[in-house]
Structure 1
Amino acid sequence: MQFPKTPRRTLLTLAAAALFAPLAALAQGDKPLRVILPLSAGSGADGAIRAISSQLAKAVGHPVVIENLPGAGGITGTAQIVRGPRDGSMIGVVSNNHVVNPSVYPSIPFDAMQDIAPITVIGATPFVLVANPALPARNIQELVALAKAKPGTLNYGSSGNGTILHLGAAMVVDQAKLDVKHIPYKGMGMLMNDLLSGQVQWAVVALAPAAPHIKSGMLRALGVTTAQRVPSMPELPTIAEQGLPDYALEGWIAAIGPKDLPMAERQRLHQGFQQALAQPEARNALIAQGYEIKLTPPEATAAFMRSEMQRMAQVVKNASVKVD
């Protein structure tokens, strides 16, 4: 499913509106806006939200307090979000893993769609398939040929079993029918260290943090995961261009609230993100983190998340991904 486009006229209107008074208080009293991140500090989503938090605070008229509650692929923190107050004083920011978890975990303590109130997809970022330069493959076709010539001998890493980066690589494995070994890590730090040292031969990772290693020659980019090439590396073909036409994937972050958060609050929070990101300081900060700004309205956000949940369920099934 494609993200709806935000009309340029709407962005200009929001930029003008942001020059005036902030939005009316989103919650009663002087409560800060708590933003729960079911992800670790230092993650891409964490950096993105912290980069725009000061402008978001101005837009909503309350201080913004960010709380990291990682664990179990995001389930631990999201369980807090779904139990949160329904007055707009607490929201969460989730990633792709939110719609993946129902398919990879035997059970989770909430319904990933029925127990949340989607607010907005804030932004999306490309992933890239990278290889250690010692691997004699310069593109996806050569990687596939090498893996098929030496079945069972190549390995790929991920940030954890069942994570979106695991599924990004598993989609290549499934669509190309490869026999390779998966090495899961607990987060990106250890994965990147072993990828750079050659302990892991290839992986799908976020483009922005990988870009310096690609430019230095420490990693080799074989293909970008998005449906179209990315402006920052226009010479890098997509994976779809290189023999896997059904491949398309990008990372996204979305703001959600607990079930039964009134639509009026969801719309005001959505407007708060719009006003914050109409400011050059916040907008440029998010772009610098590697994100394309989306800002889908609540109804479109719900439709997108449902569509992605269905799509990822099929990916998980095809790749036989399981988390104990």
Structure 2
Amino acid sequence: MHSPTIPRRSILALAAASLMAPAMAQSDKPLRITLPLSAGSGADGAIRAISASLGKAMGQPVVIENLPGAGGITGTLQIVRAPKDGSHIGVVSNNHVVNPSVYPSIPFDALNDIAPITIIGATPFVLVANPHLPARNIQELVALAKAKPGTLNYGSSGNGTILHLGAAMLVDQAKVDIKHIPYKGMGMLMNDLLSGQVQWAVVALAPAAPHIKSGMLRALGVTTAQRVSSMPELPTIAEQGFPEYALEGWIAAVGPGGLSLTERNRLHRGFQQALAQPEARNALVAQGYEIKLSTPEATAAFMRSELQRMAEVVKNARVKVD
């Protein structure tokens, strides 16, 4: 299963759109953005990096609130219940389309109770191993797992998270027996990965890059459909015998369900104008993201497709969260 293509716009198109669009009216009322994610996470850093440019584009101050918990469900519920006037939106990640499949129930409909505005950007993941593990590529990792079933382990940032599913996808496609060790967040996982308590994991590329370059971690493959420009020598997992493997971490702006298309287009235009500015583009890229903007309609179609794809991944990997 290939990851659906996120609609892309060239920088020239973004710049042209920002020049052609009428200036947005100034307002003292802030645009509130709820992040169902922890402060200091990659998505948190990305949104905070572009918030000043977004505020200028929207003609109003931007106020960001982190509301993590229950895999993002707590914060998303606040977005769902927000006023439907465009004054309060949220930014969600892959977990939004994963949660309906891993939790027994969630208090909202992941598609109908939110109003997609735009994909903002995407970041690659990478499969990394402790260098003491005798595997230098994906084929060697799979061969080792088949030779010693049940003896290898991999870690994740938590049961049912996108990083868990990124590893579980490979385990399922390779038909191998490898133990999963879930952690509560990335901090302890990374510490144990570096020390060798955990043998391998799928993690975000940007924070792992310094450890890869220092030799403290070994990169075996990138999760995206194509190689990444920052490490062009690193092959994809798909290239190494698993052509259906493709995964990246994305963030998307959404409003509460029932938010009018007029308001969604206005907000989408604000992100367009913000990310047409060099300081915002550069800030997002510095956080490890590639800019990928999409119309509200295209964003809705993408999220619907990803929800279906992740449901299949969760089913195949037999992942459940109590």
How does the TM-score come out when normalised to structure 2? Answer: 0.97
Confirm or deny: 8 A CA contact 1:157 1:182 kept in the other structure. Answer: yes
Give the Cα–Cα distance (whole angstroms) in 1 for the partners of residues 6 and 119 of structure 2: 9
Give the Cα–Cα distance (whole angstroms) in 1 for the partners of residues 161 and 12 of structure 2: 37
**Post-superposition CA distance 1:264-299 (Å, at most 9, x none):** 110010000010000000000001111110110100
**Structure 2 partner of 1:289:** 287
**Structure 2 partner of 1:119:** 117
Deviation at 1:31, TM superposition (A): 1.8
Give the Cα–Cα distance (whole angstroms) in 2 for the partners of residues 17 and 209 of structure 1: 37
Give the Cα–Cα distance (whole angstroms) in 2 for the partners of residues 155 and 192 of structure 1: 14
Question: What pairs up with 1:65-84 in 2 under 5 angstroms?
Answer: 65-84=63-82
**Structure 2 partner of 1:55:** 53
Secondary structure class of the residue paired with 1:13:
helix
Secondary structure class of the residue paired with 2:118:
strand
User: Matched residues, percent identical?
Assistant: 83
Confirm or deny: 8 A CA contact 2:30 2:60 kept in the other structure. Answer: yes
Which of 204, 207, 210 aligns to 1:206? It is: 204
Matched AA of 2:83:
P
Pairwise CA RMSD: 1.2
Question: What pairs up with 1:103-182 in 2 under 5 angstroms?
Answer: 103-182=101-180
Deviation at 1:3, TM superposition (A): 1.2
Confirm or deny: 8 A CA contact 2:89 2:255 kept in the other structure. Answer: yes
**Structure 2 partner of 1:24:** 25
Secondary structure class of the residue paired with 1:226:
coil
Deviation at 1:9, TM superposition (A): 4.5
Deviation at 1:160, TM superposition (A): 0.4
**Is the aligned partner of 1:3 residue 2:9?**
no
Confirm or deny: 8 A CA contact 1:87 1:265 kept in the other structure. Answer: yes
Secondary structure class of the residue paired with 1:316:
helix
Secondary structure class of the residue paired with 1:169:
helix
Secondary structure class of the residue paired with 1:215:
helix
**Structure 2 partner of 1:13:** 16
Unaligned runs of 5+ in 1: none
Matched AA of 1:13:
A
The total of aligned residue pairs comes to 319
Unaligned runs of 5+ in 2: none
Confirm or deny: 8 A CA contact 2:11 2:276 kept in the other structure. Answer: no
Which of 280, 293, 300 aligns to 1:302? It is: 300
